[in-house]
Each structure stands twice: as C-alpha cells, then as structure tokens.
Amino acid sequence: MRSDAVTKGVKSAPHRALFNALGLTKEEMERPLIGIVSSQNDIVPGHMNLDKIVEAVKQGVAMAGGTPIVFPAIAVCDGIAMGHQGMKYSLVTRDLIADSTEAMAMAHAFDGLVMVPNCDKNVPGLLMAAARVNIPSIFVSGGPMLAGKVNGCKTSLSSMFEAVGEFNAGKITEEQLEEYENKSCPTCGSCSGMFTANSMNCLTEVLGMALGGNGTIPAVYSERIKLAKHTGMKIMELVKKDIKPRDIMTEAAFRNALTMDMALGCSTNSMLHLPAIAHEVNFDLNVELANEISSKTPNLCHLAPAGDIFIEDLNEAGGIYAVMKEIDKLGLLNTDLITCTGETIAENIKDAVNKNTEVIRPVENPYSTTGGIAVLKGNLAPDSCVVKRSAVAPEMLQHKGPAKVFDCEEDAISAIYDGKIVAGDVVVIRYEGPKGGPGMREMLNPTSAIVGMGLGSSVALITDGRFSGATRGAAIGHVSPEAAVGGNIALVQDGDIISIDMNANTINFLISDEELAARKANWKPRQPKITTGYLARYAALVTSGNRGAVLDIPR
C-alpha cells in the first residue's frame, strides 16, 4: 500500500505521531488511507450540500474497511462570476484544482481518492488530477438542481439570464423579472439544464469514473446520499483490485465520451475539458474528431437550453445508462472497457431501460441524425472553433451577414442593449481567449441578451472566448488561433461579410487572400490586460482553445 510509507515500520514513527495528533487510532492507521477531496463551500449553490455528500462517502469508506481523510478543493460559481472580472478566474481554477489535489495526494501517500466535485471546473480539474496521480480514484458529484417554475413552465439559470434581455427589450415588467429571480434556481445543486457542470458529471459516468446516476440524481434526493455511500464502499474495491484512472480512462473511453457528448447535446465546454483530461493521460485528443463521431451519432436529447427538458427528467427517464444503451444499438460504443464499478460498460448498462422516449429519443427517431456539437474551420478559424449545433435555430445553421466587431465582452453587451445589433448581423467578440482575456471568459451575458432581445434566430455571435453551457443560439466559440496571438479573428473588420455553414462545418470572412495578407502584415500585438498575479502566469503558459487550453509545460 502507498500509505505504508507513512504508517509502517520504525521509520514511520514520526508520521504515526502526527496521525495520533489527528486522533487516529492504531486500527485506523492499519487500514488503507482514503483521501476525500471535498469541493464544499458556502458560495456555490452546487457545492453548499457537499458536506452531506462527503459525510456519506466517509461512512461508505469506513463501512468497507478504509480510513477516510478529507481535504479541500476550491470552486468558483460561474454564474456569480459571470459578466465581470470574476469570469477571468473561472477556467483558470481548473489547473489550480488539479495541481493542489496532486500536491495533497502525493504529499500524504493516500491509497485511494474519492473526488466530490459538482460545478464547471471542479469536475474536469479533479479528473485531470486523477489521471495525473493515477492512484485508485472514483467520483461522486453533489447532483443537479431541480428546475424552477414560472408561469407553469420549468425554468433554469439560462431562463434568468434571458429574462434580463427581455426586460431590457421592454417585453416583461420589473415584477416579472423579480419572479424569475426568485424562482429560477429553487434548490441547491448544479444548474438544472445540460450546462457544463451537468455535462461533465454525465460524461464522468460515461468515462467510467463514477457510478450510475452520478450525473442525474438530483442534489436534494436521498438517493444521492445512498450513491455517495456506495461510492465510498466502491473505492475500497478499486484499491484492493488496484484499478487506476489510466486503466479506465483509455483512448477508447474518450471516444465513448465524445460519442455520448453528441447524443446528449452537452456543453461546448466539453470540447475544452475532454482534451485537457486526455492530455493528463498522455495522448492528444484532437477536437476535430468530434465531427467524425458526430457524423454517425444521432442526437437523442434536447435538454435545456436546447429544449424544455431538464436533468431531473433525464434521471426519471433512465439516466445516462439508458442513453448509452440506446446508442449501443448502433454499435457506436466500446462496451468492453473496465469501469470504476469493477465491471465493463456492457455489464453496467445491460439492465438500463428507456422509460420516456420523449426525453430520450430512440435511435430510430432522433432529434437529428448527427450529434449535438460541431467543429468548424475556415479562414476565420484556421485551427477550429466550436458550436452547440443542437441548440441553434434551424434557420441559423447557414448564415451570412456583416460583422460587428468588439474587442471585449462589455462593449458588445452595451451595443446589444443600445439597439446597435440588428437582424442579420454577426457579432464578433475577440481578445477574450485563454491568453487574451486572459482566462477565456464565458459569454452567457451577450448570448442571453441577443436571445432576450428577440434576435436569437437572426444574429450569430463568434468569439475566441467560450460559452456557458446555458447558452443557446448561433454561438460559436473557442476560435483558434485567438486574437491575442495574431489569429485571423484579430483581422476581421466591421462590415466584413462572414459566412457560416454548420452543416458543412465551415466559417469564413469573405475577403481576398491579398487583403488578408495585408491586414496580417499590419497587425501588432497588444499589451497584456493583466501583468501580475496568477492570471499573468496563466496567460504566459496557456495554449489555445483547440488544445483544451492546457498549460504549455513539457511532459
């Protein structure tokens, strides 16, 4: 056992003295030491209940013969960070979480880890850490929020952001806006649609790093507590069998994750996080693989923001295993892979049942025959960019219009609310990429403003930043190379005609090669927006969006 280094023999007497100071008994020191990484805090609604999840995990570990020891991980609420300088600190926490968890796990010689995340960057950050330290590990999240209800209709955080746009457009009153404010987010948990947190928690099941139900059992259900206890018990089996994250998260497992990403219609942020996790397993996951997989993977789910279905509905319909079983009818999954259950995917999903064919469409009747996400390329994004195609109005899948160019998110939002954006326009927001932001801010405010102002089916938005999973509409992000490194998005000018074809996976601005070369010759780098602190260090090391915004550190 790894913990023998701090619990066994004369040489470990000083270590045992410190364990005694913690109140551990001799019997506890003789058992496997299981680190429980708790993301609990009192600022993130998805994390406020994690103390209860952690306590249940501790009980499960102890019941199965282990010694549970809790240590923390930070967490940022993307919704609270949205629309101001705070959003620069969202994506960057993914690496802080991975690094600090690595440090704690290695410094204290844990035999296994139970990761307890919930929201957007904690799940991928802890998956990165699990792959990196490669000791037996398993995940259990805090669970999704229940949907709200306004005027008899289910709502979520995306409804709230869009209500702000509706208010500014004079479509709803201040009293109606306040009703959304009070009812959109009614419980603890990760926001209730197929946004980034829930996307990643669902994909953790697909990757094989969490038990069935991890992505969909609501936070307030007692079943979530039982899942946490079973997770605590299961880590002891993984330790005994020495099943490690890299045994589970193979290249084939990531292909499965991309396939299910397409079927579920996950957040575009998955196209940042899956490559970053794969990077820790030491292989490069090219995001363009998404188009190959999408071409043969039907989209079976239209959860919010793509539709009026929520994670609680997916849970009642059979959860992720039921969707996997549908997709497996087409032979698109590798089901021979080992998972954290100790069994294969085939064994995990054999008893799954699709209980609601409106929530989980059968493969014979999909929402579309292609997947939920598309990767586009062209002279505007020579390396690539990403769009959640399943959340785009059909009439916007092909669009051509004049560019309205902004060098930061705030200027774009002002223009939208001032009525300067009209039907047919293509809003371009640049210098918001991983380096240029720095931190690659989410653009939920401008996309929600566009939808709320009634322009969702006539205006596209393109950025080298990224989008919240709550975004819907023709929102194209992760443009690579980004503006800050001289990518072609930096060369777009007001009035340039931009042509988007999400069916052909192309994105171009219609100027001659000679004009493009002339603009490139005249481009000059901009001074960094931030020159001190963690963001400055991050900007110096981070790569582009198409590489998952991983840090450029030699392996």
Question: Which active-site residues does the annotation give?
Answer: 468
CB 49 within 8 A of CB 36: no
Task: Show Cβ contacts of residue 405 under 8 Å, excluding neighbours closer than 6 positions.
Answer: 428, 430, 492, 493, 494
Any bridge partners for residue 139, and if so which? 115, 210
| Contact (Cβ atoms closer than 8 angstroms) between residue 21 and residue 121 | no
Separation between Cα atoms, residue 274 and residue 478, nearest integer Å: 14
Q: Cα(533)–Cα(211) distance, rounded to whole angstroms?
A: 39
Q: Are the C-beta atoms of 31 and 64 separated by less than 8 Å?
A: no
Strands (E) located in 407-510: 426-429, 460-463, 475-480, 497-501, 506-509
Tokens at 536, concatenated: 């400055």
Q: Decide if 117 contacts 39 (C-beta within 8 A).
A: yes
Scored b (16 or more CB within 10 A) or e, 269-308 reads bbbbbbbbbbbbbeeebebeebbebbeebbbbbbbbbbbb
Under 8 Å between Cβ of 366 and 258:
no
Q: Which residues 6+ apart lie within 8 Å of 12 measured at CB? A: 4, 5, 6
Residue whose C-alpha is closest to residue 100's, from 45, 37, 49, 40: 37
The answer to whether 62 and 68 are in contact (CB under 8 A) is yes
> Contact at 8 Å (CB) between 39 and 77?
no
Output phi, psi for 324, to 5 deg.
-60, -40
Report residue 142 as tokens. Answer: 């805090």
Instruction: Say how far apart CA 318 and CA 315 lie, in whole Å.
Output: 5
